[in-house]
Chain A
Amino acid sequence: MKRIISIILAVVMTAMCLVCFSGCGKSYVGEVNVYNWGEYIANGEDGLMDVIDEFEKSTNIKVNYTTYETNEQLYNMLKNSNASYDVIIPSDYMISKLIKEDMLLELNYDNIPNYQNIMERFKHLACDPESKYTVAYSWGVTAMVYDKTKLDKKPTSWEALWDKNLSGDILMFNNSRDAMAIAMQLCGIDPSNCTKEDIDIAAKKLSEQKPLLKMYVMDQVFNQMEKSQAAISPYYAGDVMVMMENNEDLDYAMPVDGANLFYDAMCIPKCSKNKENAEKFINFMQEPKIAAANFEYLLYATPNQKTFDEYLDDDIKNNELIFPSEEYLDKCYVFSDIPDDVYSHMQEQFVNIQAK
């Protein structure tokens, strides 16, 4: 028995030593806590730069990097627990909510000279019109990805997701906000700001779609589309691009009357204890070279004009899925913060569609 325990301990210790080797032995002058989406930063894969490593090397500030899964989880953590965070990267509507509830610190843009690299459109975000709290990180639109072998022609409207001929081969967002938005758009409702009645109408539309669906998906969409398991699905532009790279049969389609324009922006929450380091980090992320590495990794559009001009190939610059034209973007809508009771009504309705 003792020997068994000692063998187990030995293996565990070896593993721990390995772990330590990768982290120990450096001394830092400060730290910054970064809370980001999972897989949302260039991490040294595919010959790209390891952005966090690079930041640590150039500033000697230690980055504590952790990840979250949903905006709501981020909000809950900041609101209810006594967490302290320095840099967070929430999405559009969540930023409005955080600003409204006075949970963000005003940034000192003098410490973020790279802010001037940001495209005009993303300098005055709808959620932060006076540009006091945010520096955009990435953006994109929702679009459709479809299998050319299963559809005769390129769809032009979300209506394709309700196509009876594709019954059993359609995928849909498993995320109340995105799914409802598509339905609302088709019902002629403005999805950026909706009421409970709007939600009921959209819910009806979605329940009509349900019998035609194969699955409600989030990240499962990659496997489904890349392996030609389904015909069509809505998803985020950057990810659609990734799927197309992995399966030649796939193509994208953008609804002509616009789609959801989303963006994630870097902010500093009120609870931050290292504001200066946080600003350094934000500034670093908008270095043209760094933003370029992040873009190549993510394939979500970069708001950095300099990166766009100096680092990107013409191919990608002219890709209307990743960087849609100004006219197209004007047709798109951005989510705004909706009241809590409306949001929970939306979630209830969405669960109800699935449960029925």
Chain B
Amino acid sequence: MKSRKPSIPYIIWMVIFTMIPIVMIGFTAFTDSQGNFSLEAFSKAFFYTDVFIHSLWIALLSTAICLLLAYPLAYLITRMKKSSQNTVIMLLMIPMWMNFLLRIYAWVTLLQDNGPIDLALSLLGIHGTYIGNSAAVVLGMVYEYLPFMVLPIYTVMSKIDYSLIEAAQDLGSNNLAVFGKVVAPLSVPGIISGVTMVFVPSASTFLVAQYLGGTDDIMIGDVIDKIFWTDQNTGSAISLILMVFIFVFLIIMNLFGDEEAIA
């Protein structure tokens, strides 16, 4: 139990499958198609600055909404009976077992003009278009990644010692105070890993915006997919920049958290 040996296979694994691929992306990004050193790929990559900004903005919005929805949900789940907790958690996971493209397709059906949502809302006298705009993209992202936000927050919250809460109550705190003084601070690590797990994929995914978005909604993931097959160098350069952006974001966020969180 005191030996470091069991981790050796994984350390070797990390070198081969984590370190080397990153070096290769860097190498490809800094060369041209002939393999000579060149910064051309980066100059081309900066051509897509607008797309970068748009993607990060969409991702930020999606993450914020996910957090707003997930936090109370996670809290409420921890207040349930243990067996019901498991059921609800499983219920959260099941939609993720359905193919993600199909889920997007389902949203297209739901949101389209004269679709179920449109019909229901026009009964209430509200008319509008619900697809083909950035809001629909955000909705799609929230739907895809909501469970990634709930699970880590729930995990952390469910570990909070119940006696702490009782102690706070005994000391005269009302429910709100208990929540603010005890539960919220202790759930920060969960929030941080939840934000990571939602922000990263929603900044980088492709296809979601193509199906739900309007003419302005093109995400950086779509660009990488389009560019990479014809121009690996530029594709790699964009990937590298995206990765740096995300790392910077995570480092900033971690300044607010502690070492328990991811990264």
Contacts and interface: CB of A to CB of B under 8 A. Distances in A.
A and B touch in the complex (CB under 8 A): yes
Interface of A: 70, 72-73, 75-76, 80, 174, 176, 210, 213-216, 218, 220, 223, 227-229, 340, 343-344, 347-348, 351-352, 354-356
A215 B50 CA distance: 19
B218 A354 contact: yes
B108 A223 contact: yes
Given A210-B215, A227-B114, A348-B44, A356 B230 contact: no
Given A220-B210, A227-B112, A80 B232 contact: yes
Interface of B: 33, 44, 47-48, 50-51, 54, 108-109, 112-114, 132, 210-211, 213-218, 223, 226-232, 234
A351 B46 CA distance: 13
Given A355-B54, A356-B50, A344 B227 contact: yes
A343 B51 contact: no
B157 to A, nearest CB: 22
B100 to A, nearest CB: 16
A223 B218 CA distance: 20
A214 B217 CA distance: 12
B248 to A, nearest CB: 22
Given A351-B48, A354-B215, A354-B218, 8 more contacts: A80-B232, A215-B214, A227-B112, A344-B44, A347-B230, A351-B51, A351-B218, A356-B50
Contact of B113 (A210, A220, A229, A348): A229
27 contacts: A72-B230, A75-B229, A75-B230, A76-B228, A76-B229, A76-B232, A210-B215, A214-B132, A214-B214, A214-B215, A215-B132, A216-B210, A218-B210, A220-B210, A223-B109, A223-B112, A227-B112, A340-B231, A343-B230, A344-B44, A347-B227, A348-B47, A351-B218, A351-B223, A351-B226, A352-B47, A355-B48
A176 B228 CA distance: 15
Contacts of A343: 230
B243 to A, nearest CB: 20
Contacts of B231: 340, 344
Contacts, number: 70
A347 B132 CA distance: 22
B108 A355 contact: no
A70 B114 CA distance: 32
Contacts of A176: 226
A168 to B, nearest CB: 9
B230 A174 contact: no
Contacts of A80: 232
B210 A174 contact: yes
Nearest to A80: B232
A347 B50 contact: no
A-B interface, 9 closest residue pairs, ranked by CB to CB distance from nearest: A72-B229, A355-B50, A354-B218, A76-B229, A355-B51, A73-B229, A213-B215, A72-B230, A344-B231
